């Protein structure tokens, strides 16, 4: 490759030589590919054995369901009406004052029924209510 002498009327060369940049990037990619599998390995230890434990049933929330026809279930047990629901909720509240409630309402149930059930739950003294939905 021949170089021509720079004359006084020509400006400075404004091109950037990217070859060293590409070389450095390729070296970094190779280093990353070589070291990545080493980062995923963990220390192998033998964990101690313990006895199995059961989940604390006291802390699990109540499951209140309202089906499309307006039927009410508490922990999968059908209830006759709102008065029976309030009695059952008050009994559960006496067992555990910090009990929570998960409300499963069918999308076909009318809003007035859900509002009646929520008012009954609030009247029974349960303050922790969560609505359960499914992801679309």
Domains identified in the chain and CATH numbers: 57-131 (3.30.420.270)
Q: What is the pTM of this model?
A: 0.55
C-beta neighbour count of 129 within 10 angstroms: 15
Which tokens hold the place of 6?
């720079």
pLDDT tens digits, residue range 39-89?
766 667 677 788 877 766 557 888 999 998 889 999 889 998 999 999 999
What is the 3-state composition of the chain as percent helix, strand, coil, each rounded to the nearest 5? 40, 15, 45
Return the pLDDT at 88.
92
Phi, psi of 75 (to 5 degrees): 50, 45
End-to-end Cα, the chain, rounded Å: 65
């Amino acid at each position: 490759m021949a170089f021509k002498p720079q004359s006084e009327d020509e400006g400075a060369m404004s091109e950037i030589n990217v070859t060293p940049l590409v070389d450095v990037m390729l070296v970094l990619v190779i280093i990353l590919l070589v070291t990545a599998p080493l980062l995923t390995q963990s220390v192998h230890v033998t964990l101690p054995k313990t006895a199995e434990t059961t989940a604390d049933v006291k802390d699990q929330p109540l499951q209140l369901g309202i089906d499309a026809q307006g039927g009410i279930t508490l922990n999968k047990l059908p209830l006759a009406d709102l008065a029976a629901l309030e009695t059952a909720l008050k009994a559960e509240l006496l067992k555990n004052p910090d009990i929570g409630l998960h409300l499963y309402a069918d999308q076909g149930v009318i809003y007035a029924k859900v509002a009646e059930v929520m008012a009954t739950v609030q009247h029974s003294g349960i303050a922790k209510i969560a609505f359960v939905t499914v992801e679309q």
